[in-house]
Structure 1
Amino acid sequence: MAPQESIVADTIATSKPKSLIDTIAVSKSQMAIDTIPVSKSQPLNIVHSNADIKEISLPIMNLQDDPYLADIDRRWMELVKRSEAYETDDFYPDNQYYGTATDGLTTEVLKARLEALNAKTPFNVEYNPILEDLIKRFLRSRTKVVAAMMAKSKYYFPIFEEKLDLYDVPLEMKYLAIVESALQPKARSRAGATGLWQFMYHTGKMYKLDVSSYVDERMDPIAASEAAARHLADLHDMFDDWDLALAAYNSGAGNVNKAIRRAGGKRNYWNIRPYLPRETASYVPIFYATLYMFEYGQEHAIFPDESMTLNHYETDSIYIRKTITFDQIEKATGIDAGLLELLNPSYKLNIIPKVEGKNYYLVLPREYIGIFAQNEPLIYAYVESENAKREKPLPENLKVNPDAITYRVRNGDYLGKIARRYGVSVRSIMRWNNLRSTKLRIGQRLKIYSRKAAASKSKSKSKSKSKSKGKKSSSKGKKTYYTVRSGDTLWEISKKFRNVSVSDLKRWNNLRSNRLKVGTRLKIVN
């Protein structure tokens, strides 16, 4: 089939320093891969099918970066690591013993430290018995949580500081994200507040945070941090006081205004505190306690949890030119799926869409960015090949396969999730089951007609036969258990154990998502 037009592709990595320019032929309806020269060290398996499109199989981690450009990236990273802007040794010193958490923290010592904090920040950090009690409670029970937050802050704080500085908001406001979400970008409150900065839907819309079926920018660390900085700057413009801006961030400007009226016009936070909602009355003291824990953590032997070692400067982003799934990115580059989700939390369905007028980007460790950028034409050709293999909806007059399966709806299921599992469309499932809406109920039975469904049914017998063997073989490995702590993610937990991946943790513990509950015991098979 003769191509209608041709597009000159970007650089495709080979073992040579110079890049190769390859031509990808495109027909009106679908893409056909003509010739993609690659080096001997980079085999590419092209399988010709009966259809116009050709299937492309990418070996995981077989893509290569341009050696010259990769060397520039390496030298740049060395320069950045030496830069004072990213020097964290003073903030995160080597672990030393300074005694127990509350040793030496007398009221006089605390007053002196709070006075020092007050001198270097625009907040009214003053001694108060309520604040002293809260700080000492944190020191007795929250040191492990603070250590985890210190480790995560290496990645998130540079993002926060850049956006806060852009709108002249005190850099200490970065600690507010710890109070709001414990640095969990997918955190969601019972009221629906979402993300690192816990934006409600309508407040997020006010600050241009897009929420769609694919994307929730309230969970995007960069977009949400800029929105939070703008919101805090607006609140400060209203009250001309950062303590009151903090209170208004939590309860709304209206509640702070009412508290000022009830306090007879007084504007000091501690004077209006009795008239604020109960949650807000604790909000500012918790912020100050968090500020103290970070600024004086070393004096209390609190150090970052070494299991989280990712620094912000070790990552970079690249704009996406075509819709691509996390699964396709993982297969093309070999990046760990858990790390991919950690760095790109705003994509709700693990799909990065290409939408007219929107620029969605992918965040990756720098070593993967070079590989992705160098091999974009090849990766997108692979995506086209994968998309072409999706099963099309059955024609209305076609008699369906009688061997279809019956799927029982479970907690957390929705039509899109079930459709992806079996490689069919939502519309097809609705038609096969005479559904008038996408709402499902737990226990509902759905008929699924697809190749995957038939294959899973035919394999079920062989799986059941080998199940006992699998159990015997898996039981030979030594098992240990890990108890989930606040702030843990599957990716972070997997890095605590040798040769353990996120997929392993999910398989061993029958997990269907990456969500974890504090206190859950996870089985680890060595």
Structure 2
Amino acid sequence: MIVKKLSIVVSAFFSMSMFAQEVATTSTIEIKPEVKLSYLDSVKGTFKKDDVATRVDSLWMKELTSLDIYDDLTKDIQTINTDVTVDEELPTELLKQRLAAMNEKSPFDIEYNQGLENIIKSFLKNRKKSFSRLMALSEYYFPIFEDAFAKQNVPLEIKYLAVVESALNPKAVSKMGATGLWQFMYGTGKQYALKIDSYIDERSDPLKATAAASEYMTKMYNIFGDWELVLASYNSGPGNVTKAIRRSGGKTKYWDIRSYLPKETQGYVPAFLATMYLFEYHKEHGINPERAVVKNFETDTINIKKEITFKQIADLLDMPQSQIQLLNPSYKLNVVPYYQGEQHFLRLPKDKIATFASNENKIYDYVAYQSERRTLPAKLALKVAPKAKPMVKEKLELAKDIQFYKIRKGDNLGTIAAKYDVNVSDLKKWNNLKSNAVALGRTLKIKSDTDPIAKNIEEAKSSPAVEKNTETAIASSDENEKSNTVNQEYIVAAGDNLGSIAKKFGTTVADLKDLNNLTSNNVGLGKTLIVSKIITTVEGNNITTAIAVNNSMDPFKKKAVSARTLGEDYYVKKGDSLYSISKKYPGITISDIKKWNNIKDGDIKPGMKLKING
């Protein structure tokens, strides 16, 4: 009996200890917070993905699209003195042998002279690193050139001319306004049917500009019958070549008329031949080409059916904008536009094309979602109350976030605009620029006046509902509640990645990248990340209502800026679409217009009257 009682006690003791262990174990289980997915992440989560993955280092891509090589080579060609001997190890006899070997397999008249030797030695002494980078770019561009030239029976060696003209940079713009790989002037570009408008400049399109250059070369050869004179006419124009022929007494060889040509053209053909030599004999001179990340045969194009920005493409396909810019240089504002009756193509790596094509409908749905639900920028949260006076310009200026940027080597308006998420046209307007050329060291003013609120205030001046006392409303709002932003920060520890950090703080990878201006998923150990921004804003009603929220919140829960115009009629014009009309009325969506006018589909006709109701 005692044994039985003892066994019951022991068994009860063990049961209690096991229960205690269970409780203890349960209490140490980590309760993981629910991860909130943004609409972007939820769309990407459903994508069918190709097994092939392309890794692109955005810093390397930025290096390749830098304009510093173009600036250096242009300066060399304009200022190099072919009569000055350069001290560089290259025996003259060896150079003569190599030039003779090049001459045997080329339609160009390649013969040794002291001036050519001096330019070759100058490039070897000062530009070895530049040519290493240029050879990486040539892996992408040269197949395009060779294909176009072969179709027109143009010598393939003319591909080296693009190195001299633009340093293989499709965004290169000369002081005179010549643009693109082949440096076409505006008039010449139009003459060869290259499209140039606010969104597109086909002088920067590698395929179309090369076809135009090929056509030009063919016409000039039919006139002069000499490829060196064709190059000279490309640089200085056929008129100057004709004058030089007359002044030389009727001679028709480049080297015979060279001294009668403009000074820049005198160094132009030798620079072309020196470039050809360095590409042919780079190994012998220890020039090791950098490898191209994206080669021409690894890319493909897709027809774009709706307007889409490079940022949207980059976010959806997980690739840096710099790579999209490299592959699509003819789009001036980092936007692929949509014109009715015209086709616009986007060039991407083949694996990204596969992802795009497999998920096209979802991608366009996301673009439409973004255009209809423009959320309030974190930098500006302003409430405009009723019964307000027209806002004076000085007060509006306070609502803009003004920054200053000093032009560095390699910068251009396109890269600066992308960096600050503004338009090139706005940059030019804010800084009174008449062309895309910007001087090194100049300071540019950059405003955030493209925010919807600032636009609404400007537009509200002419609306009867707000023609009173806006200034007073802002002053009284400031007294009641001022906008205040608090950043929550996190220092990256060993083993962290963006996914684990997003999970830890209940946010998304896309939001983390957006908050910290990250172009890739890589984060360095010890880096301080902003994980959320909590903004308190002024409250009110009527024209605009702005509620700022934690950036990790689901976009469906974010409240967009709304600015409604009451009881207005709009008459449809030629070329209008529901999307373009909705953009004229900030805060009004396509679905609003459809609902108010009982439109089942998107068909509207010129002259049709639409109700715009609040």
**TM-score band w.r.t. shorter chain:** 0.5 to 0.7
Q: Could you say if the C-alpha distance between residues 199 and 459 of structure 1 is closer, same or farther in structure 2, counting changes exceeding 3 Å?
A: farther
Alignment partners' CA distance in 1, 2:272 and 2:257 = 17
| Distance across 2 between alignment mates of 1:267 and 1:458 | 77
Q: Which residue of 2 aligns with 1:256?
A: 241
1:156 to 141, 147, 159: 141
How far is 1:195 from its partner?
0.8
Match among 392, 403, 406 for residue 399 of structure 2: 406
Q: Pick one of 348, 351, 362 that aligns with 1:364.
A: 348
Tell me the equivalent position of 2:534. Answer: none
Cα separation, 2, equivalents of 1:350 and 1:379 = 17
1:107 pairs, out of 48, 70, 92, with: 92
Is the CA contact 1:44–1:59 (under 8 Å) kept in the aligned structure 2?
Answer: no
The counterpart of 1:422, out of the listed 451, 471, 484, is: 451
1:319 & 1:400 partners in 2: Cα distance? 49
Q: CA deviation at 1:66?
A: 6.6
After alignment, is 368-377 or 417-426 more displaced? 417-426
Other structure's SS at 2:120 match: helix
Change (3 A) 1:222 1:60: farther
Relative distance call for 1:366 and 1:462 in structure 2 (3 A) is same
**1:296-350 deviations in whole A, cap 9, x for unaligned?**
11111111124x4321111111111111111111122111121111111111111
**Is 1:212 aligned with 2:197?**
yes
Distance across 2 between alignment mates of 1:374 and 1:420:
37
8 Å Cα contact 1:214/1:348 also seen in 2: yes
The amino acid across from 1:170 in the alignment is P
Give the distance between the partners of 2:181 and 2:218, measured in 1 at CA. 18
Residue 181 of structure 1 deviates from its aligned partner by: 0.8
- How many angstroms apart in 1 are the aligned matches of 2:37 and 2:521? 32
Q: How far 1:499 sits from its partner (Å)?
A: 3.5
Q: How does 1:42-81 map to 2 (within 5 A)?
A: 57-59=40-42, 61-65=44-48
SS of equivalent to 2:365 = helix
Contact 1:61 1:334 in 2 (8 A): no
The TM-score normalised by the length of structure 1 is 0.63
The aligned runs of 1:15-414 (5 Å cut-off) are 57-59=40-42, 61-65=44-48, 105-306=90-291, 308-390=292-374, 405-407=398-400, 408=402, 413-414=427-428
Instruction: Give the corresponding residue for 1:462.
Output: 486
Cα offset for 1:423?
Answer: 3.8
SS of structure 1 residue aligned to 2:170: coil
The amino acid of 1:280's aligned partner reads: T
Q: Matches of 1:289 and 1:305 in 2, distance apart? A: 20
Report the Cα distance in structure 2 between the residues aligned to 1:155 and 1:235, rounded to whole angstroms.
Answer: 27
The one-letter code sitting in structure 1 at the alignment partner of 2:306 is: K
Deviations 1:73-100 (A, max 9, x none): 99xxxxxxxxxxxxxxxxxxxxxxxxxx
Distance across 2 between alignment mates of 1:433 and 1:255:
57
Q: Which runs of 5+ in 1 are unaligned?
A: 1-42, 47-55, 75-100, 435-446, 475-496, 508-526
- Aligned partners of 2:168, 2:98: CA distance in 1, in Å? 25
Whether contact under 8 Å (2:245, 2:257) holds in the other structure is yes
User: Structure 2 CA distance, aligned partners of 1:224 and 1:338?
Assistant: 21
Q: Kindly indicate whether the alpha-carbon contact (under 8 Å) linking 2:88 and 2:121 is maintained by their aligned counterparts in 1.
A: no
Structure 1 residue 362 displacement after superposition: 0.7
Q: 1:357 to 1:236 in 2, by over 3 A?
A: farther
Displacement of 1:224 in angstroms is 1.1
* Other structure's SS at 2:301 match: strand
Q: 1:425 to 1:119 in 2, by over 3 A?
A: farther
2:588 equivalent in structure 1: none
Measure, in 1, the Cα distance between the counterparts of 2:335 and 2:454.
15
Aligned in 2, Cα 1:391/1:500: closer, same or farther, shift over 3 Å? closer
SS at match of 1:232: helix
Question: 3-state DSSP class of the match of 1:303?
Answer: coil
**Pairwise CA distance, 1:138:** 1.1
User: How far apart are the structure 2 equivalents of 1:57 and 1:237?
Assistant: 56
Q: How far apart are the structure 1 equivalents of 2:521 and 2:318?
A: 18
Cα distance between partner residues in 1 of 2:313 and 2:136: 27
Distance in 1 of aligned mates of 2:181 and 2:457: 36
SS at match of 1:196: coil
1:494 alignment partner in structure 2: none
**Equivalent residue number for residue 522 of structure 1:** none
Give 3-state SS (helix, strand or coil) of 2:486's partner. helix
Percent sequence identity over aligned pairs: 42
**Superposed displacement of residue 422, structure 1:** 1.2
Shift of 1:248: 0.5
Q: 1:275 to 1:498 in 2, by over 3 A?
A: farther
Q: In 2, distance between residues paired with 1:267 and 1:199? A: 26
Partner Cα separation in structure 2 for residue 310 and residue 500 of structure 1: 24
The AA in structure 2 aligned to 1:310 is V
Aligned length: 375
- The answer to whether the 8 Å contact 1:211/1:217 transfers is yes
- Over alpha carbons, which structure has the higher Rg? 2
Residues 399 and 454 in structure 2, CA contact (< 8 A), matched pair in contact too: no
Deviation of residue 217 (structure 1)?
A: 0.9
Q: Any idea what SS the aligned residue of 1:462 has?
A: strand
Unpaired runs of 5+ in structure 2? 1-34, 55-85, 377-382, 406-412, 414-426, 431-445, 463-470, 493-519, 531-614
Deviation at 1:133, TM superposition (A): 1.0
Corresponding residue of 1:499: 522
